[in-house]
């Protein structure tokens, strides 16, 4: 290792470590608050070193474990299925668009881009999905609308393809007699693992964190994903605290609204599994693909 | 070239759209026909009934629904499909259902949204149906209240029957009253509260004597001396003022109240971050950070609040009970135009108001399973059941018809609560504008601007957090610039118009 | 070597050249080229079909912005009202403030996020130990996973007057007086970008980092052999090679410059009125204005206005990019 490389190592470590601390401190506060005693927060304020700890918030969630476990199952199913299909469609769409020679290529790219700026709004989307496709109260309602193919991901992947797959590699494949599909599957995809992992991760996070679809298309609680349940609790609080019509009438119910610590625990329960799943994607985010070796 | 491309897209979209619409039309046609051909023997109609729930959907909803259907099928040859929607999603859900023509027969609408729904034509007119099928409903209401729910002299909604009026007062834990020797009989109006706060502060300097009655609410949200005419943009002072609408924020009384609040805030009587606090009033009182709050009053409030706060509470009214349109039409039932059988819907509504069995099921669930009668007309959870594991702990009796239609009260509340409510409603003063509803449609540009200005200033002014001498004039001039006078003028016009029909 | 082959290919496929050929040959050639592309169109089909259904089909709803919506008449049957639904956006004394805030914040976010994330990605790329790369990356991504509502709770835990950590612990340690954060608009032009950066840096870093990973290692090896310093390598290799990704991300952000993160501007400042001068943006203004009215015509109009301005800005930006480098332009 040269002196310069070593110096860069040090600089990088110091910078990244401080940024990591900046990123993780609020998260620590989230975890600590979720295991703090409610009364100590109310009386002494939030703290990294609360006077007393309590499991109450998690006990509250544990009481609803039946529903939560089911919801985790639904979330995992939706995330896996949605990400797989979505990733496949995105890659298939992005690859041809990345070809500079594709007839109408710019037009198709524009079509994709246009969806990022303009949308018909919630009402017509709901109309299309419920009246034409009838997906209300089905598991597909959590997978198909809005999330499956995202214009942003397509354009991002297109740029990645343009950037990392040299035409020469594809041309040599063509000379070898490989069809476009084979070239795509046996050359482009293996070369693009970091890209696929990145987009796959973004899709996974989108599916994992989504509660909009459930909110709009589901009235049957047995299909709720984990975020639907957690968000239902949070949006109920938001709604009741900002809406005097109901607040006046529902005094009794307001008193049962979850307290600060429960809200924090809810957030932790929603985030932890995806953090655990993260290393799976990182396996593919590996350095040092040498495209030269394919040549 | 690009323009051409965009045209193509447009064409494609239209094409798909047209196919979509034709499909929809054909389905509605066919359902019309099927309805027509069934004249001989009537089929049982299934009513879809949407309402909000304030927590998780009760898991025994289906059981309760089945029990209701047994009765309703026999009585009116209709069954009901209960569609509970969690409150955070409710407005959005039913709006989507209405705009996309989903079948919906009974809809619970709140005061805030009811006017928009009516002016956009989404609710059936109910006068004829009420005449024909609504005897049970009419029996429950004092006529003036049912009348007050009219819009443009027609019924579009049936309000639920609960407290039809409101007074304002102070809520305070009994322990402070006793420990600090507070003589509540000395407190009869707003400015007398200073004495209470003084006593509390003197004995306990750590506590904030006054906290807002909820996150996002100001102190004056629960203390009124005027008919807000719906939104407090243009009000009727003293619930009368000869029907002359005035700008509340310019009135002398408003300024006086603000000055008082400011004085209290600076003396430490109001909690420091009252305007942005995120802890509920219950948490604030339980943790001893706050001592009292100003809140709306109704019969049995002290008992209710004692359960809610987990400590014995005392309530002292500061104003007399007045009834305004807003009190009457808080939560209501409407029949959306997407209903295929409004007659049945009305019949079911009537049943909900008048049939004790159905009311019991909707309010409390199934006897023996979700509740048992512990003494005459007083019910409680069966053994081994409580709020957290009951299959039907909805507790929303104020949302299904007559709040006391079941004839039961829950253990811990006064057994003669129903009479108390009746008396409260019958003796309450009526605002001169009771029954008037403002339609903001003609002035909606001004309305959005004014709403923003009010949002900006109200909370900090009405919690004493800012100096009214400085901020109130700024507030008023911004309101003027946003066009509040135009709204007030329009309101006056509509009010005069309304009055001429009374 | 690679360069020359690429040039050759471009030459062969350049449509401008085909134009010069005699008509018959041109048609034949067109058919032949088209045939060659059939597999590509098959690949495109499912994704495009999805976008057609999911995004283009509901676009008939855009007309709501120009209609007086009525439930009885439905979306298409309601009456046209021209630009009436748009009026409320401009007929207000706040029009200037909300437009200024929206543009300034979003513009600043674009610069801040891009610069920091590219920096972090480059630093990550320098780290040799895989374990640390993964560790840093995971930690930096965590805030992105936290929803804005929860972020608002956390910010409140930090800034609340009575129970916030800053006022209770940190400011006294520094010997400073407590500050009413939610009452003082002057702090928020700093607070909001910090929160925004905190929340989204992980997202942007991942994207730029994987762009860097895609760079052919040979470039760096050659550069090292030539005796180029790290700094030169970053300047001459890394940044130019990931610039297409940077440009694309920037173009897309420009398209959404009139939209703002509602949670960040509404929930995080707790809707505190005293802060409106520095926190009110178009989205929050529209939300507050329509909360009572619930007019979907006006809501659609606001969305339409935000989209169209973004659209025009992107077209302009794209044109500029195109002038410099055709490949980097979006279309």
3-class DSSP state of B49: strand
Which strands make up the sheet holding B290-297, listed edge to edge? B208-211, B290-297, B167-173, B313-317
What's the pLDDT band for A246 if we cut at 50, 70, 90? low
CA distance B61 to chain C (A): 30
**Minimum Cα–Cα distance from A133: chain C residue:** C53
Cβ atoms within 10 Å of C147's Cβ, excluding its own: 20
CA distance C68 to chain B (A): 9
Structure confidence at residue B1 (pLDDT): 36
Angle between helices C188-213 and C130-145 (to 10 degrees): 140
Measure CA C205 to chain center. Answer: 14
Structure confidence at residue A291 (pLDDT): 45
Residue B381 pLDDT > 70 = yes
Q: Do B85 and A250 make contact, defined as CB atoms within 8 angstroms?
A: no
Say if B395 is an interface residue toward chain C (CB within 8 Å): no
Q: Per DSSP, what are the bridge partners of residue B315? A: B171
3-class DSSP state of C67: strand
Domains of chain A (ranges, CATH numbers): 69-293 (1.10.3720.10)
Query: Pick from C71, C156, C272: which is nearest to B120 by CB?
Result: C71
- For residue B338, report the phi and psi dihedrals to the nearest 5 degrees: -80, 0
- The runs of H, that is alpha helices, within B417-483 are 417-427, 444-461, 468-482
Closest Cα partner for B9 from C255, C52, C309? C52
pLDDT digits (tens, 9 = 90+) for C163-180: 899 998 899 899 888 899
Q: What is the DSSP string of B99-166?
A: HTT----EEEEEHHHHHHHHHTT-B---HHHHHHH-HHHHHHS-HHHHHHT-BTTB--EEE-BS---B
For residue B95, being part of any structural domain is answered with yes
State chain A's mean pLDDT as an integer: 85
B interface test, pick of C71, C157, C268, C279 with most B CB neighbours within 10 Å: C71
Kindly report which listed range (A53-62, B268-277, C7-16) carries the lowest average pLDDT score. C7-16
A interface test, pick of B12, B283, B329 with most A CB neighbours within 10 Å: B283
Element (H, E) at C169: none
Query: Pick from C124, C145, C307: which is nearest to A16 by CB?
Result: C124
Say if B458 is an interface residue toward chain C (CB within 8 Å): yes
Residue bearing the bigger pLDDT, A94 or A164: A94
What's the pLDDT band for C12 if we cut at 50, 70, 90? very low
Closest Cα partner for C246 from C203, C207, C200, C194? C207
What's the pLDDT band for A287 if we cut at 50, 70, 90? low
For residue B419, being part of any structural domain is answered with no
Q: Do A93 and C33 make contact, defined as CB atoms within 8 angstroms?
A: no
**Minimum Cα–Cα distance from A273: chain C residue:** C145
Structure confidence at residue B5 (pLDDT): 42
Number of domains chain B contains: 1
The one-character DSSP state at B382 is P
CA distance B337 to A13: 65
Structural domain range at position B334: 44-163+325-400
C-alpha angle B38-B41-B42 in degrees, rounded to nearest 5: 70
CA distance B164 to B322: 9
Q: Do B275 and C272 make contact, defined as CB atoms within 8 angstroms?
A: yes
Closest Cα partner for A286 from A208, A204, A202, A190? A190
CA distance C269 to chain A (A): 14
Q: Do C273 and B448 make contact, defined as CB atoms within 8 angstroms?
A: no
For residue B416, being part of any structural domain is answered with no
Q: Strand B208-211 and strand B409-410: pairing?
A: unpaired
- Looking at chain B, the whole-number percentage of residues with pLDDT higher than 90 is 66
CA distance A252 to chain C (A): 24
The one-character DSSP state at C62 is G
Q: What is the DSSP string of A25-78?
A: HHHHHHHHHHTB-HHHHHHH---SS-S-B--HHHHHHHHTHHHHHHHHHHHHHH
Q: Do C126 and A9 make contact, defined as CB atoms within 8 angstroms?
A: yes
Cβ atoms within 10 Å of A222's Cβ, excluding its own: 12
CB-based contact C212:C240 (threshold 8 Å):
no
Residues of C with Cβ-Cβ distance to A93 under 8 angstroms: 43-44, 46-48
Q: Do C57 and B16 make contact, defined as CB atoms within 8 angstroms?
A: yes
Residues of B with Cβ-Cβ distance to C274 under 8 angstroms: 275, 456, 460, 465-466
Using alpha carbons, list the distances in angstroms from residue B407 to A251, B101, B307, B379, B463: 21, 37, 21, 10, 41
Structure confidence at residue B18 (pLDDT): 41
Structure confidence at residue C6 (pLDDT): 39
Q: Do B120 and C290 make contact, defined as CB atoms within 8 angstroms?
A: no
Tokens of A163: 């950037």
Residues of B with Cβ-Cβ distance to C294 under 8 angstroms: 91, 95, 112-113, 116
All structural domains of chain C with their residue ranges: 1-65, 83-328
CA distance C82 to chain A (A): 18
The one-character DSSP state at B86 is E
Q: Do C9 and A101 make contact, defined as CB atoms within 8 angstroms?
A: yes
Structure confidence at residue B421 (pLDDT): 93
CATH superfamily name and code, C83-328: MetI-like (1.10.3720.10)
Q: How many CA atoms lie within 13 A of A138 on its CB side?
A: 10
Query: Pick from A145, A162, A267: which is nearest to C54 by CB?
Result: A145
Query: Pick from A111, A245, A252: which is nearest to B330 by CB?
Result: A245
3-class DSSP state of C35: helix
Structure confidence at residue B15 (pLDDT): 43
For residue B337, being part of any structural domain is answered with yes
CA distance C324 to C52: 32
The CATH number of whichever domain residue B82 belongs to comes to: 3.40.190.10
Query: Pick from A123, A235, A245: which is nearest to B110 by CB?
Result: A245
Q: Which chains touch B (3 or more CB pairs under 8 A)?
A: A, C
Structure confidence at residue B66 (pLDDT): 95
Window C:182-201, CB contacts with A under 8 Å:
198, 201
Residues of B with Cβ-Cβ distance to A119 under 8 angstroms: none
Structure confidence at residue C70 (pLDDT): 86
pLDDT digits (tens, 9 = 90+) for A96-132: 999 888 888 889 999 999 999 998 888 889 989 998 8
3-class DSSP state of C204: helix
Using alpha carbons, list the distances in angstroms from residue B325 to A39, A275, B146: 40, 52, 10
**Minimum Cα–Cα distance from B19: chain C residue:** C57
Looking at mean pLDDT, say which of A239-243, B34-38, B123-127 comes out highest.
B123-127
Using alpha carbons, list the distances in angstroms from residue A240 to A236, A247, A261, B84: 6, 6, 18, 17
């Amino acid at each position: 290792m040269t002196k310069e490389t070593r110096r860069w190592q040090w600089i990088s470590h110091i910078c990244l470590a401080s940024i990591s601390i900046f990123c993780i401190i609020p998260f620590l506060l989230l975890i600590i608050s979720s295991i703090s005693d409610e009364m100590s927060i109310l009386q002494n304020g939030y703290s990294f070193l609360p006077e007393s700890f309590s499991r109450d918030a998690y006990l509250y969630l544990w009481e609803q474990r039946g529903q939560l476990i089911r919801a985790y199952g639904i979330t995992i199913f939706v995330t896996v299925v949605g990400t797989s299909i979505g990733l496949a469609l995105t890659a298939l769409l992005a690859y041809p668009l990345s070809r500079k020679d594709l007839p109408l290529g710019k037009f198709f790219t524009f079509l994709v881009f246009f969806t990022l700026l303009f949308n018909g709004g919630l009402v017509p989307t709901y109309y299309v999905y419920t009246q034409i496709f009838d997906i209300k109260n089905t598991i597909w309602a959590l997978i198909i609308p809005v999330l499956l193919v995202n214009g942003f991901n397509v354009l991002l992947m297109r740029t990645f393809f343009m950037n990392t797959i040299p035409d020469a590699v594809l041309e040599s494949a063509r000379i070898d007699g490989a069809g476009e599909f084979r070239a795509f599957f046996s050359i482009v995809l293996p070369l693009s693992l970091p890209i696929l992992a990145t987009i796959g991760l973004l899709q996974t996070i989108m599916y994992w964190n989504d509660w909009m679809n459930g909110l709009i298309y589901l009235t049957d609680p047995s299909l709720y994903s984990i975020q639907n349940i957690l968000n239902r609790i949070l949006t109920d609080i938001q709604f009741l605290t900002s809406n005097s019509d109901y607040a006046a009438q529902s005094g009794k119910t307001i008193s049962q609204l979850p307290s600060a610590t429960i809200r924090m625990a809810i957030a932790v329960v929603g985030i932890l599994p995806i953090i655990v799943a993260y290393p799976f994607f990182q396996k593919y985010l590996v350095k040092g693909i040498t495209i030269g070796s394919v040549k | 070239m690009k323009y051409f491309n965009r045209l193509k897209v447009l064409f494609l979209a239209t094409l798909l759209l047209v196919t979509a619409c034709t499909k929809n039309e054909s389905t509605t046609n066919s359902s019309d026909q099927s309805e027509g051909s069934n004249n001989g023997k009537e089929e049982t109609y299934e009513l879809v009934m949407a309402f909000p729930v304030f927590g998780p959907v009760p898991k025994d909803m289906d059981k309760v629904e089945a029990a209701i259907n047994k009765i309703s099928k026999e009585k009116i040859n209709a069954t009901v499909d209960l569609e509970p929607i969690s409150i955070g999603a409710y407005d959005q859900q039913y709006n989507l259902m209405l705009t996309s023509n989903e079948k919906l027969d009974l809809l619970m609408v709140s005061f805030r949204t009811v006017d928009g729904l009516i002016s956009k034509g989404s609710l059936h007119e109910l006068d004829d149906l009420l005449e024909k099928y609504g005897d049970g409903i009419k029996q429950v209401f004092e006529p003036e209240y049912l009348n007050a729910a009219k819009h443009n002299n027609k019924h579009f909604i049936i309000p639920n029957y609960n407290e039809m009026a409101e007074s304002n007062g102070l809520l305070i834990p009994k322990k402070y009253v006793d420990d600090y020797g507070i003589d509540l009989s000395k407190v009869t109006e707003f400015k007398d509260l200073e004495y209470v706060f003084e006593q509390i502060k003197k004995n306990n300097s750590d506590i904030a004597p006054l906290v807002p009655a909820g996150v996002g609410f100001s102190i004056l949200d629960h203390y009124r001396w005027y008919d807000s005419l719906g939104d407090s943009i243009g009000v009727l002072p003293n619930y009368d003022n000869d029907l002359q609408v005035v700008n509340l924020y310019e009135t002398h009384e408003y300024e006086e109240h603000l000055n008082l609040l400011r004085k209290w805030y600076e003396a430490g009587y109001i909690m420091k971050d009252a305007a942005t606090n995120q802890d509920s009033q219950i948490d604030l009182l339980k943790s001893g950070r706050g001592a009292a709050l100003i809140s709306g009053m109704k019969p049995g409030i002290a008992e209710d609040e004692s359960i809610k706060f987990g400590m014995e509470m005392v309530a002292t009214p500061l104003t007399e009970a007045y009834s305004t349109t807003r009190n009457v039409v808080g939560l209501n039932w409407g029949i959306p135009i997407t209903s295929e059988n409004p007659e049945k819907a009305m019949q079911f509504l009537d049943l909900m108001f008048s049939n004790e069995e159905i009311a019991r099921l909707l309010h409390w669930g199934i006897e023996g399973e979700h509740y048992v009668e512990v003494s005459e007309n007083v019910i409680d959870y069966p053994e081994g059941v409580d709020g957290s594991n009951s299959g039907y702990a909805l507790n929303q009796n104020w949302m299904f018809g007559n709040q006391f239609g079941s004839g039961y009260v829950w253990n811990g509340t006064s057994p003669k609560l129903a009479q108390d409510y009746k008396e409260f409603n019958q003796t309450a003063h009526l605002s001169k504008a009771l029954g008037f509803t403002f339609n903001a449609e003609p002035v909606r540009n001004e309305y959005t601007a004014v709403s923003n200005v009010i949002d900006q200033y109200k909370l900090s002014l009405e919690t004493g957090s800012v100096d009214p001498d400085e901020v109130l004039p700024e507030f008023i001039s911004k309101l003027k610039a946003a066009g509040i006078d135009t709204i007030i003028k329009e309101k006056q016009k509509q009010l005069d118009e309304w009055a001429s029909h009374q | 070597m690679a360069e020359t082959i690429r040039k050759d290919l471009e030459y062969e496929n350049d449509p401008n050249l085909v134009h010069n050929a005699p008509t018959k040959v041109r048609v034949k050639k067109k058919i032949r080229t088209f045939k060659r592309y059939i597999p590509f169109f098959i690949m495109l089909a499912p994704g495009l079909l999805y976008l057609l259904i999911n995004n283009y089909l509901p676009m008939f709803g855009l007309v709501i912005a120009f209609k007086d919506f009525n439930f009885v008449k439905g979306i298409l049957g309601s009456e046209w009202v021209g630009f009436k639904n748009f009026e409320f956006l401009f007929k207000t004394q706040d029009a200037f403030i909300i437009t200024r805030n929206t543009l300034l914040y979003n513009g600043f976010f674009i610069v801040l996020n891009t610069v920091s994330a590219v920096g972090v990605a480059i630093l990550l790329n320098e780290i040799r130990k895989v374990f640390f790369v993964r560790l840093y990356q995971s930690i930096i991504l965590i805030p992105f996973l936290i929803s804005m509502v929860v972020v608002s709770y956390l910010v409140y835990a930090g800034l609340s007057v009575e129970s916030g950590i800053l006022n209770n612990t940190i400011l006294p340690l520094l010997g400073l007086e407590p500050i009413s954060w939610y009452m003082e608009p002057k702090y928020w032009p700093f607070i909001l970008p910090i929160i925004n950066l905190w929340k989204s840096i992980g997202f942007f870093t991942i994207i730029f980092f994987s762009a860097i990973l895609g760079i052919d290692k040979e470039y760096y090896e050659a550069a090292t052999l030539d005796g180029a310093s790290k700094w030169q390598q970053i300047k001459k290799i890394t940044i130019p090679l990931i610039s297409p990704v940077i440009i694309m991300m920037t173009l897309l952000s420009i398209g959404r410059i009139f939209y703002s993160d509602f949670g960040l501007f509404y929930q995080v400042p707790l809707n505190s009125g005293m802060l409106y001068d520095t926190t009110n943006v178009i989205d929050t203004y529209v939300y507050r204005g329509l909360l009572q009215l619930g007019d979907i015509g006006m809501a659609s109009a606001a969305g339409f206005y935000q989209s169209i301005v973004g659209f025009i800005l992107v077209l302009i930006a794209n044109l500029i990019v195109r002038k410099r480098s055709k490949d980097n332009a979006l279309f």
